[in-house]
Amino acid sequence: MVQRETHELDRGRAFARFDTRFQLAWVLGALMPVLLRPPLRVGFSLLALGLAVGLVLYLSALRSVQPEAARRQDAGPAPPDEVLATARRLLDAGEERSAVVLAASAALDHPRLAVRGGDSRCGELATFRRRALGDGEPLSTEAAVAALDLAADLIDCPSR
């Protein structure tokens, strides 16, 4: 969710905060045996206890995630209108390129929509997607809005 629906700067800050906390915990964990100098038997016992707790937490998290993963696999791809709504949220967040790529995927690549190879709008939307994926000129907000509107038109009228 953080990677998909947040602005790039906020995403970077979130990961930087997490990484800082992780590194501080690692350093504090390494300082304890250096400062306290426990006997080997105590040190290995604490290590085994920590690993056992980690294993229990991992297995319980794995069990809670497996039903959700199975449900997602059975559900198939998200409906195109939901994908387009996510693309609009990305556009509102200033992520024009991601919004265009997602909207084009919703309209052009979704298996529930009919094949529209002869529709000129498909070619136009594919061009928007290539521009969004390219490293060239930046994609303007107006072009992104036009691409999302075109994708919405194709999703609403798949047989034209």
* pLDDT per position as a tens digit, 23-82: 999 999 899 889 999 999 999 999 999 999 999 999 998 888 877 666 666 666 778 888
Q: For residues 91 and 125, what is the distance between their CA atoms, to the nearest angstrom?
A: 16
What would you measure as the largest C-alpha separation in the chain, in angstroms? 77
Q: What confidence score (pLDDT) does residue 113 get? A: 59
Query: In the numeric block, which tokens belong to residue 95?
Result: 């992520």
pLDDT at residue 124 tops 70: yes
Task: Identify residue 23 by its one-letter amino acid code.
Answer: Q
Q: What confidence score (pLDDT) does residue 26 get? A: 92
The terminus-to-terminus CA distance of the chain in angstroms comes to: 35
CA torsion through residues 35, 38, 40, 42, sign:
negative
SS3 93: coil
pLDDT band at 160 (very low <50, low <70, confident <90, very high): very low
* pLDDT per position as a tens digit, 57-66: 999 988 888 7
Q: What confidence score (pLDDT) does residue 123 get? A: 84
Q: For residues 86 and 82, what is the distance between their CA atoms, to the nearest angstrom?
A: 6
